Amino acid sequence: MSDEKHEHHAPPVLFDELPAAGGRKIGQVTLNIPSTLNSLNLEMVDLMLEKLGEWRDDDSIACVFIRGSGEKAFCAGGDVQALRASAVENPGGPCPYAEDFYHHEYRLDYLIHTYPKPVVSWGHGIVMGGGLGVFAGSSHRVVTEKSRFAMPEVTIALFPDVGGSYFLNRMPDGAGRFLGLTAANFNGTDCLFLGLAEHLVENDLRDHVLEDLQSIEWHGDAAQQVTEVLAGYDKRSGHARPEGNVEKHMDSIHELCGDKPIEQVVEAITGLETDDPWLAKARDGLANGSPLSVLITDRQLREAAGKPLREVFKSELVLAVNIVRYPEFAEGVRALLIDKDRNPQWQYKTIQDVPADVLDSFFRPPWDTNPLADI
């Protein structure tokens, strides 16, 4: 009981300035709600936006280190139960809390992507959805032997946002499309293959990494200095690398996804007969996901290809706001996370049932000026 009470009163994000050599400091961010696997809410996002803005302009801060509290997760995503409550209270929208959350969350992710100092994210345990947005934006992305990643948005009628339509498009040969459509899990070894992480380090070495960062005599190329520290620990952790799934399945992924139209992709994946547990789980992820969400995800990935990051975030905000105003999202969260019956009543049973004008409507801005116009 005391732990729960303590957590209730603990700040949702902890900020520490760890002393480093030469009078410099490491800014440490700890996402601090382990009971929800450090899922992001609006308060956490706003606290991080403010502190990272301060640290950006503080010459004594040499680099930033982001981690999750507890042993289970870096960050399991956005707090979608709070987003659903906002949607249910405001049917048809506007949904002030949810829309503010997405606007501020994407602003935070963009800040991390464009941060002028090294940002190390320690992606231990579960890293999903909004957690992947923070992680993917970091300049130095570290995974561990226990990292478990996914972009599971299609299962709740959302889409892989938080820059997903940027970084999924940069993965090898259709892998991003496959992961976004199927909500498939992938691990630290997969992240290295996908270009989503640069280093795999045993989680037990985290404090040693921090100590080494604190002992750096910071000079010209801070990013290179951080890379050198992490590379040393990466070498020491070679024995801890789990077996990956994505690379060994790339032939199947290419065959199933390739450059095929979405109708053929859905048919190929949902019709897959396989004894392979990873592929079977991916198949079921797509089969149980929202058909509307599958179409939105695929179209967004196509339309975002080659766009600069700021344009990608602006287009994602259009979609996120329109989706949260539409009943499908609340139903997806209900079935998966609230009633947990895993039996969502999707509005359209197949992707063929979705009218073209309904799909188009999600891509139309719901306001005159995009709230991210100034990023």
**In 3D, which of 158, 2, 193 has the Cα closest to residue 77?**
158
What pLDDT sits at residue 259? 87
Q: Phi/psi of residue 220, each to 5°?
A: -25, -70
- Residues 148-178 as b/e (b if ≥16 CB within 10 A, e otherwise) read bbbbbbbbbbbbbbbbbbbbbbebeebbbbb
Residue 371 tokens, joined: 């709230």
What pLDDT sits at residue 104? 98
CATH 3.90.226.10 is the classification of domain 2-361: yes
The residue behind tokens 């009163």 is: 9
Distance CA 191, CA 246 (A): 9
Vertex 250 angle, CA 292 and 202, to 5° = 100
- Give whole-number Cα distances, 79 to 102, 189, 228, 263, 367, in Å: 11, 27, 35, 32, 24
What pLDDT sits at residue 258? 83
* Catalytic site positions: 78, 130, 153, 161
Q: Which residues of the chain have pLDDT under 50?
A: 1-7
User: Could you tell me if 227 and 140 are in contact, meaning their C-beta atoms sit under 8 angstroms apart?
Assistant: yes
Distance CA 60, CA 246 (A): 41
What pLDDT sits at residue 2? 41
What pLDDT sits at residue 8? 57
**In 3D, which of 105, 282, 272 has the Cα closest to residue 177?**
282
**In 3D, which of 168, 167, 186 has the Cα closest to residue 177?**
168
Q: Each residue of 319-374: pLDDT tens digit? A: 999 999 999 999 999 999 899 999 999 999 999 999 999 999 999 999 999 999 99
- Give whole-number Cα distances, 154 to 107, 129, 289, 332, in Å: 23, 11, 5, 9
- Residues 244-255 as b/e (b if ≥16 CB within 10 A, e otherwise) read bbbeebeebbee
User: Could you tell me if 148 and 185 are in contact, meaning their C-beta atoms sit under 8 angstroms apart?
Assistant: yes
DSSP-assigned letter for residue 57 = T
Strand order in the sheet with 186-187: 73-75, 126-128, 148-150, 186-187
What pLDDT sits at residue 4? 46
**In 3D, which of 97, 175, 86, 163 has the Cα closest to residue 130?**
163
Checking DSSP bridges between strand 25-31 and strand 13-19, what pairing results, if any? antiparallel
What pLDDT sits at residue 9? 78
